[in-house]
Homo-oligomer: A and B are copies of this chain.
Amino acid sequence: MREVFQQELREVQDRLVEIAGLVVISIENATQAFNNSDVSLADTVIADDNKIDELTVLLDELAIQILARQQPVARDLRIVVSTLRISASLERMGDMSEHIAQLARYRFPDKVVPKGLRSTFAEMGRQDVIIATKLAELLKTQRLELADEILKEDDLVDELHASVFEKVLGESWKGQVVDTVDATLASRYHERFADHAVSIAKKVQYLATGDWAPEA
């Protein structure tokens, strides 16, 4: 039984790594679609999000089956329950990529953000890609220093997020109303993307150290 359980846990882990890999691709493509107003790539992100959603549902079903069949307790139980939370966060990260891609799509053929903010969003996008890449690696290797790195990278995203609002609320801002709306939403989506990664990283940390990750 124990061996079967370990095998099932590996299957769960493999699937989390697979979904995280798709999330990396989704934020890479979303960032590129956003920066280059690439509608066709935006459509790819939107279609790929359906795949992430499907895989998440299947993974949740597997986790529930493991709970039913293996009746894990103590740390094993917390690992399986964590899977449900991690998959929910990955699913939301895919949604954020989709939202970012959709902004590019809505505004086409116009650019989705005006010149003055393009480098900031290019940087936010790069940060989100770095974070997602480290997250996929963390889920695969369980190397906890990656969790620390994700937390630090998230600080940079928060700074960029704050700088977007400084910019649009500053006197030199010449953007149209639509630019202000887009910048506000895009910044929020990028920030939430990173937040979900932090939430997952903390869960992996807590599991490894024997504590339990609070949601708040």
Contact = CB atoms under 8 A, between A and B. Distances in A.
Interface stretch (A20-28, A78-86, A110-118, A142-150): A78-86
A214 B57 CA distance: 6
Contact of A212 (B50, B61, B67, B87): B61
Contact of A64 (B78, B91, B169, B175): B78
Given A177-B173, A181-B180, A216 B67 contact: no
Interface stretch (A1-9, A69-77, A120-128, A131-139): A69-77
A50 B215 CA distance: 11
Classify chain A's interface size.
35 or more
A57 B184 CA distance: 31
A181 B180 CA distance: 7
Contact of A71 (B54, B71, B88, B188): B71
Interface in A166-201: 168-169, 173, 175, 177-178, 180-181, 184-185, 188
A153 interface: no
A206 interface: no
A214 B177 CA distance: 37
A11 to B, nearest CB: 18
Nearest to A67: B77
Closest 3 interchain pairs by CB?
A: A53-B216, A184-B184, A71-B71
A174 B85 CA distance: 43
A215 B87 CA distance: 10
A177 to B, nearest CB: 5
Most chain B CB within a 10 A radius of its CB, from A78, A175, A214: A214
A165 interface: yes
A56 interface: yes
Contacts of A77: 64, 67-68
Given A67-B67, A68-B74, A180-B181, 17 more contacts: A50-B216, A53-B215, A54-B216, A57-B215, A67-B81, A68-B73, A68-B77, A84-B85, A91-B215, A91-B216, A165-B181, A169-B181, A177-B180, A180-B180, A181-B184, A184-B185, A185-B188
